[in-house]
Amino acid sequence: MDRKRFSNQPCPIAQATDIFGDWWIPMILRETLYGVDTFSEFQERLDISRNILNQRLKLLVDNGILSKELYQAPNRFKYVLTQKGRSALSILAAMAAWANQWAFPEGEHPIRLLDAESGEPLVPLVIDQRSGEPMEMKEIKLAPGPGFPNSKEALRRRFGIE
């Protein structure tokens, strides 16, 4: 059967998962951090099947994360991050920080993040903007926001009988 989709759910985690919940999307975005922007270079560096790459790039373009720009007529393109795409790199940064901490021994991180301008190391940390404290310190709970469907049924299904 077809892969389950979550794009109809009124939930940001579901929305993000619908696009990010795939093994190629984050890897393609990672490659942009190495300056990769052409079909061929993505294909070679990731060793990804060309049909899959094509489909994923389309998806990223359709979702406004990459834009496809002609750099030489008639069919040579660059795929460059949009603002939405650059913003999504924060998710990659959070993933990198997590895996650096948990998948590798202290002091043996294979990859460091650097500020491309200053060359200074970047150490990503997810904080709560209001308190300034690390998210990791918090116990997170989800609650309906202003955009949640105004239906007793939807509320019950998601949040239970509270």
Partner DNA sequence: CTCCATTAGTTCTATTATAGAACCGTATAT
Partner DNA sequence: ATATACGGTTCTATAATAGAACTAATGGAG
Subset of residues 48 to 107 that bind DNA, contact rule: CB under 7 A: 48-52, 54-55, 57, 68, 72-78
User: Site size for DNA, by CB under 7 A?
Assistant: 28
CB 122 within 8 A of CB 115: yes
Give how far the C-alpha of residue 160 lies from the chain's centroid of Cα atoms, to the nearest Å.
30
Using the rule CB under 7 A, is 157 a contact of DNA?
A: no
Q: Which is nearer to DNA, 54 or 90 (CB)?
A: 54
Whose CA is closest to 87, among 45, 32, 24?
32
Using the rule CB under 7 A, is 138 a contact of DNA?
A: no
Options 24, 32, 66, 92; binder of DNA; rule CB under 7 A: 24
Q: How many whole angstroms separate alpha carbon 68 and alpha carbon 37?
A: 9
> Least distance (Å) from DNA to the CB of residue 25?
10
Q: Which is nearer to its own copies, 70 or 123 (CB)?
A: 123
CB 94 within 8 A of CB 109: no
First vs last C-alpha separation in the chain: 35
Using the rule CB under 7 A, is 18 a contact of DNA?
A: no
Residue 14: exposed, middle, or buried by beta-carbon count in 10 A (0-12, 13-18, 19+)?
A: middle
Using the rule CB under 7 A, is 40 a contact of DNA?
A: yes
160: alpha, beta or left? (left if phi > 0; alpha if psi -120 to 50): left
Using the rule CB under 7 A, is 35 a contact of DNA?
A: no
> Least distance (Å) from DNA to the CB of residue 37?
8
| Residues of this chain that bind DNA (CB under 7 A) | 1-4, 22-24, 38-41, 47-52, 54-55, 57, 68, 72-78
